[in-house]
Structure 1
Amino acid sequence: MDSLLRLLLRLLVVPFGIAVGMVAALIVIMVGYWQLGDLLAGVPEVEFFALADALSAAAFVMTAVVLVMWAVAAIGILFAEAFAVRSWIFHTLNGAVSAWIATQIFPPYPDTPVPFDGMLYVLGAGLAGGLAYWAVAGWNAGFWKPLGRPLAAVSPHDVSGSAPPRIPPHG
């Protein structure tokens, strides 16, 4: 029964972790590659709403690219859930590798004459997305493996009231 409840909890936590990872990746792209801070500096209030509309449309388009990244990352997520891999290094590298593979499969700007020079930001977005996923769902991956140390079983000898056997010191 405990395994069933843990499986149901994982079915809720993993998609939420993916959503948080997607938002983290989008923030890195918007702040890093699009240089959102420089873009917002010195914008008059009237033009701010037009800029906000353009950024929301661009974020919607980037969501498609991030979805491809997380579709590739799902392979690593399934591996982590199946084998209870809880390492933050695994999840951040999974995010970075999946972001790189997604940009190789679907280049962000394939029709422009200027080559895409934002691979550093793509890898940064993958690292941030993988770390955000680990913080929400990856640190306790694996629905069948409990957290912490298992409790020791009580033997009939322990119930009788006699003292437990002494273990000689290693020396």
Structure 2
Amino acid sequence: MQTLIFALIAEVFSLRSFWLHMLFGGVVAAAGFMLLSPDAPHDPERWADLGIILAAGLVAGFVYWLIAGRDAGFRRPLIERLG
């Protein structure tokens, strides 16, 4: 659900930064992992799992940016200015 909300926000405000998409992907992935495993911050053996999930979220955010984020925005100019 949070990913859908971010995608809509990115479209409405024409957010095209790949860093922003990667950051949000990582945060959402880490938050999902923390919801499934709330004791992970207190268990050093789970930190590697959290790192892997975080990296996967970063990659997912980058892939989303490659597919849809570069051209984000509902409003596009009808005529582009030349020069």
TM bucket, shorter chain = 0.7 to 0.9
Equivalent of 1:125 in 53, 56, 59 = 56
Q: Any unmatched runs of 5+ in structure 2? A: none
Q: Please say which structure displays the higher CA radius of gyration.
A: 1
Quote the residue 2:15 is aligned against: 85
| Structure 1 unaligned regions, length at least 5 | 1-70, 153-171
CA displacement, residues 33-79 of structure 1 (integer Å, 9 cap, x when unaligned)? xxxxxxxxxxxxxxxxxxxxxxxxxxxxxxxxxxxxxx322222111
**Which letter maps to 1:132?**
V
Report sequence identity in percent. 35
Equivalent in the alignment of 1:96? 26
The alignment's C-alpha RMSD in Å is: 2.5
State the aligned residue count: 76
Q: What is the rounded CA distance, in whole Å, between the counterparts of 1:136 and 1:84 in structure 2? A: 15
TM, length-normalised to structure 2: 0.76
The residue that corresponds to 1:53 in the other structure is none
Q: Deviations over 1:2-34 (max 9, x none)?
A: xxxxxxxxxxxxxxxxxxxxxxxxxxxxxxxxx
- Of structures 1 and 2, the one with the larger relative CO (CA 8 A, separation 6+) is 2
| TM-score of the superposed pair, with normalisation by structure 1 | 0.39
> Which residue does 1:29 correspond to in 2?
none
User: Aligned-pair distance for 1:138?
Assistant: 0.5
Residue 105 of structure 1 is matched in structure 2 by 35
Q: Tell me the SS of whatever aligns to 1:116.
A: helix
How much does 1:107 deviate?
A: 2.5
Moved over 6 A (4+): none
